Amino acid sequence: MQYSKYKSKIKQKASELGFFYCGFSNADFLEEEAPRLEDWLNKNQHGKMSYMENHFDKRLDPRLLVDNAKTVISFLLNYFPEETQKDADAPKISKYAYGEDYHFIIKDKLKDLIQFMKNEIGDINGRAFVDSAPVMDKAWAKKSGLGWIGKNSNLIHPKEGSFFFIAELIVDVEFEPDGPIKDYCGTCTKCIDACPTEAIVNPYVVDGSKCISYLTIELKDEILPKEFKGKMENWMFGCDVCQDVCPWNRFSKATKEDRFKPTFSLLDLSASDWNDLNEETFQKLFKKSAVNRTKFEGLQRNISFLKP
């Protein structure tokens, strides 16, 4: 573990780049997660996300993604907003999508971090991952001691809640791992009780095909399944219900990352503004946003589905 002396420098640099936590784990096969992932896929709880069926082995073994991988370094980046949408009747967007697409922001930061590590350590091989490959980010963050996976299947940090992004560097350098922490969900079932579509089918198990985030973002069908009519609680892109009710999110603090702050007057738009949204305004509002994933037609589909 001759490289472990660099751990504190890497954590310090990660902090300077805006990540509020950074943890290390051994790049081994994820034995605990393998049967759970297989069961989840066998029950079709991934819905029409067929990409989840691909690269099963790579999802569970980082050594198949980076040659001679030794360590997974996990990072948390806060996106919790200072303000939310003003019109209580307006269709809702998940908080993570208020500002610029997180993929670009985090990739920029990790690029700087890899360069820093090369300058400090020398010739290392590593890859940055931000939802960009079959990496089970929550599992690695848990192994790295950055929180526990809650009953809503989100990673929860005891001092920060769960409104953050997770990213990884997988590197061919061996560091001393940070151990996991315990699960503090206890007997609480607030997330299960509050889920509008009953997507949390068991504690720690989410049926993705029932999740509002899946329905409004991942599902590309022209019409949303009619059994969810009247159950969407006005969410047009993503859903924050299980996080909003989580007691641990009372610790959430506003992000300091300017690029996560809303563009234009996104939070000021009224229900009628959203109903009258045209493609030109959509492109202005969401030019660099994760909302672009639905495209204009997808967002229109979602807004129409919310109407009585």
State which of 104, 137, 171 marks the end of a domain: 171
- Using an 8 Å Cβ cutoff, are 91 and 302 in contact? yes
Residues 52 and 137 in one domain: yes
Neighbours of 89 (CB within 10 A): 11
Alpha carbon distance 70, 58 (integer Å): 15
Residues 260 and 290 in one domain: yes
CA distances from residue 210 to 226, 249, 285 in whole angstroms, order as listed:
12, 23, 28
Domain with 239 in it: 190-306
- Using an 8 Å Cβ cutoff, are 100 and 262 in contact? no
Neighbours of 276 (CB within 10 A): 10
Number of structural domains, the chain? Answer: 2
Which two tokens mark 102? Answer: 């997180």
The neighbouring-strand residues paired with 73 are 24, 169
- Count H helices and E strands in the chain, helices first: 11, 10
**Can you list the alpha helix ranges (DSSP code H) found in the chain?**
7-16, 33-42, 56-60, 102-121, 137-143, 190-194, 212-213, 241-244, 271-275, 279-285, 295-306
Residues 101 and 165 in one domain: yes
Residuewise pLDDT in 10s, the chain (308 residues): 568 789 999 999 999 999 999 999 999 999 999 899 898 989 988 888 877 878 888 899 999 999 999 999 999 999 999 999 999 999 999 999 999 999 999 999 999 999 999 999 998 999 999 987 789 999 999 999 999 999 999 999 999 999 999 999 999 999 999 999 999 999 999 999 999 999 999 999 999 999 999 999 999 999 999 999 999 999 999 999 999 999 999 999 999 999 999 876 899 999 999 999 999 999 999 989 999 999 999 999 999 999 98
Kindly state whether residue 179 falls inside one of the protein's structural domains.
no
SS3 state of residue 218: helix
Kindly state whether residue 184 falls inside one of the protein's structural domains.
no
Q: Which residues are catalytic?
A: 131
Residues 136 and 217 in one domain: no
Residues 165 and 200 in one domain: no
Residues 116 and 220 in one domain: no
pLDDT (0 to 100) of residue 3: 80
Which two tokens mark 117? Answer: 């590590």
pTM for the whole thing?
Answer: 0.94
Contacts of residue 281, defined as CB under 8 A and 6 or more positions apart, other chains included, come to none
Rounded to 10 degrees, the C-alpha dihedral 274/226/230/161 comes to: -80
Residues 194 and 164 in one domain: no
Kindly state whether residue 183 falls inside one of the protein's structural domains.
no
State which of 138, 171, 204 marks the end of a domain: 171
Residues 64 and 131 in one domain: yes
Kindly state whether residue 91 falls inside one of the protein's structural domains.
no
